[in-house]
Amino acid sequence: MHARPIVLSAVLALAQATSPPPSPPPDASAASHPPVTTVEWQVVSRRPHDPTAFTQGLQLGDSGRLFESTGGYGESTLREVEPVSGRVLRRLELPDEWFAEGLTLVGEDLLQLTWRSGIATRRDADTFELLDTYAYEGEGWGICFDGERLVMSDGSDRLTFRDAGTFEVIGSVPVRLDGEALPLLNELECVEGSVWANVWRSDSIVRIDPVDGRVTARLDLGGIIEPQPQATDAAAVLNGIAWDADSRTFLVTGKRWPELVEIRLPGQGT
């Protein structure tokens, strides 16, 4: 998970070259859906972000508290961050053998994934006290909570649904962009019935209908930060999405980015 960003068309080409022909969505063929449109965005604010943080997960709580998961063997952390100044308020160092990944809130509990250790942790958001651990197969990339169930990515073109209490798998759906498999789904954010996902090594965030896995919109965030961190650090790709329900804006950042950028999409309020 550490290479230079590529365009979304290259992601699709990679999927065609390495994957079997995709099955159609469960309800209809791609031809029955209009082409995916690229949604415009507007910068609302720019905020400081720790340029050493290898951001893997970003989560804003109902009370406005911002939590962040950072990765890397021997440097993975769980953090609470002041959302305007970027100051790290609390920081928990994780075991050296863990590479931390996605992060979400379930009530007052934080759920954090690991990349290849097959371990998810549940911690108290106020104290970071460990409440439970869960084992899972495969890799952990992104995770979000839609109010009823967990949605998890593993770097493939599939979203897996899990019970929010037991972490047991309760379903899955393949993700399709204009009828083609879309792999490398990374950090996730559940927002009002949709799942927003970073596409690793690209400047794209896509909106996914979790019912049939169809991509319904795309954000192209190329140029959102200048100079581009990837110019000098190939691993410094776009990654991190947090929804602010009060202002109806997104906070986005990347691995080792010096900024946390607040953006608004059309029709999401003023």
> Residue 41 belongs to a domain with what CATH number?
2.120.10.30
Confidence (pLDDT) at 32: 63
- 25, part of any domain: no
- 243, part of any domain: yes
62-92: per-residue pLDDT in tens? 889 999 999 999 999 999 999 999 999 999 9
Range in 11-20, 71-80, 111-120 with the lowest mean pLDDT: 11-20
Q: DSSP class of residue 243?
A: E
- 197, part of any domain: yes
User: Which residue in the block uniquely carries the two structure tokens 């997960």?
Assistant: 57
Domain range spanning residue 166?
8-18+34-264
Estimate to the nearest angstrom the gap between the alpha carbon of 205 and the chain centroid.
9
- 99, part of any domain: yes
Question: What order of strands is seen across the sheet that includes strand 158-163?
Answer: 143-145, 149-153, 158-163, 169-174
Q: Which two tokens stand for residue 247?
A: 């202002």
* Cβ–Cβ under 8 Å, residues 235 and 243: no
Average pLDDT score over residue span 25-52: 81
Domain count within the chain: 1
End-to-end CA distance of the chain: 36
183-230: per-residue pLDDT in tens? 999 999 999 999 999 999 999 999 999 999 999 999 999 999 999 999
